[in-house]
């Protein structure tokens, strides 16, 4: 193997490791932050306020991250800045347990972690152009990192959630070091490409239609991550079972990442999204019906079909159809609408609803809303020849 071939094989492996480390840190923070907040005395309403207010405050800042990456001298530099800031912000939680201080800490951390996912995906897709590696193979590193970490950390914590923040800081510091050794990718607009912004993307009806259905899915998913673990501990779960539940969610993505490109070739992007939405309806309905903490764990194996279907379809659709100079901006727009907006909607509202109605009934509402959204999307996309054409050729 010559040096060029060796280098071509080496950087995807480093990318794979980067995903392992980042999603390991995300697994710890996403799964156990709200359990920590609950353990120090915050109510569901206060936790919901922390989620929605912090997300609303960072929305304006997030709008600029994609544009900055498209214009940056080094997209690696933007990612390294975010990893470093996350490492520092995670340690702030050790300074105080007052509600207003925790609200500030959650806001600062969210301001850095939210932009990373779309920018990291955009960087990866650009690095892999011309490579024999597929995005799904690299993204599997994130699934492995998330699933293994959430299982073993759940067993190690023993319901003591205060130790999660230094673990997150270590993961983000490791991400920064790995990112330093990756190939430099310059923003396309920096290379003299045409400049553009969100206006051009907002005129793409096919992209917006897919992002909106992803918004409905992400709203239910964000509610699940923010409030279901707290509810789960009230029906007999503990930190180890929470870890097993989240392990089931994450490990279920692995077979989907192996076969998702074949599924898209067979039934298209439209069919894949409809399938993913239908399975998600079933998952939310079962989580409403079941009260046995052991039975809840295997139900979450349905997560892989829903999450991987939506995420893979949107990320690769943007990379394939959006002009090169707007790809990071497009990935960020998808993240803002489907994740940031959904957190605002289901942070405060979800917290209030879970306090008033209970988490179980809200899961049923999520199932109904997802079912209605899928029916509307199925009818709209069937009468859209351009989307049907893109779907049928998605992975050809």
Residue-wise pLDDT tens digits, 284-337: 999 999 989 999 999 999 999 999 999 888 888 887 777 776 777 777 777 777
**pTM given for the model:** 0.70
**Geometric angle at alpha carbon 193, from 191 and 194, rounded to 5°:** 150
Beta-carbon contacts of residue 174 (< 8 Å; ≥ 6 apart): 21
Q: What tokens were used for 20?
A: 């392992």
- Cα distances (Å, whole numbers) of residue 192 to 50, 63, 237, 331: 41, 22, 55, 21
Read off the CATH number of the domain in which 277 is found: 1.20.1250.20
Q: Which residue has the tokens 């983000």?
A: 172
Q: What tokens were used for 224?
A: 């699940």
- Cα distances (Å, whole numbers) of residue 262 to 124, 138, 223, 355: 21, 17, 30, 43
Beta carbons of 365 and 70 less than 8 angstroms apart: no
Q: What tokens were used for 235?
A: 């029906």
Please give the pLDDT value at position 297: 93
**Geometric angle at alpha carbon 209, from 55 and 107, rounded to 5°:** 5
Beta carbons of 144 and 20 less than 8 angstroms apart: yes
- Structurally, the chain folds into a number of domains equal to 1
Residue-wise pLDDT tens digits, 256-279: 888 888 888 888 888 899 999 999
Beta carbons of 138 and 265 less than 8 angstroms apart: no
Beta carbons of 352 and 238 less than 8 angstroms apart: no
Residue-wise pLDDT tens digits, 371-390: 999 999 998 888 766 555 44
Cα-Cα end-to-end distance for the chain: 30
Bigger pLDDT: 132 vs 289: 289
Beta carbons of 140 and 257 less than 8 angstroms apart: yes
- Model confidence band, residue 2 (pLDDT cutoffs 50, 70, 90): very low
Half-sphere exposure of 81 (CA within 13 A, CB side): 12
CA nearest 21: which of 179, 171, 181, 246? 171
DSSP H stretches of helix in the chain? 3-39, 44-71, 75-91, 99-127, 135-157, 164-180, 198-202, 205-234, 239-251, 253-289, 293-299, 303-321, 327-335, 341-356, 359-382, 385-392
Listing DSSP states for 133-157 in one string gives --HHHHHHHHHHHHHHHHHHHHHHH
Please give the pLDDT value at position 385: 60
Q: Which residue has the tokens 């930190």?
A: 239
Highest mean pLDDT out of 38-42, 219-223, 225-229, 282-286: 282-286
DSSP state of 194: P
Mean pLDDT of the chain: 81
With a cut of 90, say whether residue 243 has pLDDT above it.
no
Q: Which domain holds residue 326?
A: 3-392
Beta-carbon contacts of residue 371 (< 8 Å; ≥ 6 apart): 277, 281
φ, ψ at 203 (rounded to 5°): -90, -5
Mean pLDDT in residue range 218-239: 86
């Amino acid at each position: 193997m010559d040096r060029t071939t060796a280098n071509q094989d080496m950087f995807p492996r480093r990318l794979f490791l980067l995903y392992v480390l980042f999603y390991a840190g995300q697994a710890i923070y996403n799964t156990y932050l709200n359990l920590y907040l609950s353990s120090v005395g915050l109510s569901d309403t206060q936790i919901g306020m922390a989620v929605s207010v912090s997300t609303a405050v960072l929305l304006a800042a997030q709008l600029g991250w994609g544009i900055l990456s498209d214009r940056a001298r080094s997209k690696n530099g933007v990612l390294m800045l975010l990893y470093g800031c996350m490492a520092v912000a995670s340690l702030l939680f050790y300074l105080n347990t007052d509600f207003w201080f925790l609200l500030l800490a959650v806001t600062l951390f969210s301001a850095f972690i939210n932009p990373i996912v779309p920018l990291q995906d955009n960087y990866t897709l650009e690095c892999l152009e011309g490579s024999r590696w597929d995005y799904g193979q690299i993204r599997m590193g994130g699934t492995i990192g998330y699933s293994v970490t959430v299982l073993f950390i759940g067993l190690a914590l023993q319901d003591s959630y205060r130790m999660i923040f230094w673990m997150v800081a270590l993961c983000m510091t490791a991400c920064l070091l790995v990112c330093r050794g990756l190939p430099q990718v310059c923003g396309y607009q920096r290379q003299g490409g045409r400049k553009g912004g969100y206006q051009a993307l907002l005129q793409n009806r096919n992209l917006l239609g897919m992002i909106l259905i992803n918004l409905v899915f992400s709203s239910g998913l964000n509610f699940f991550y923010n409030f279901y673990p707290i509810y789960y501990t009230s029906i007999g779960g503990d930190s180890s079972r929470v870890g097993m539940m989240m392990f089931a969610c994450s490990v279920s993505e692995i077979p989907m990442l192996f076969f998702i490109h074949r599924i898209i070739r067979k039934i298209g992007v439209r069919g894949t999204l409809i399938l993913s939405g239908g399975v998600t309806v079933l998952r939310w309905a079962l989580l409403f019906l079941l009260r046995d903490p052991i039975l809840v764990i295997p139900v979450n194996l349905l997560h892989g079909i829903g999450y991987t279907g939506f995420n893979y379809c949107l990320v690769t659709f943007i990379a394939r159809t959006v002009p090169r100079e707007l790809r990071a901006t497009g990935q960020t727009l998808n993240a803002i609408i489907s994740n940031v907006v959904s957190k605002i909607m289901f942070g405060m509202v979800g917290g209030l609803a879970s306090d008033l109605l209970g988490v179980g009934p809200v899961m049923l509402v999520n199932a109904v809303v997802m079912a209605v959204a899928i029916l509307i999307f199925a009818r709209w996309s069937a009468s859209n020849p351009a989307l049907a054409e893109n779907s049928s050729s998605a992975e050809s």
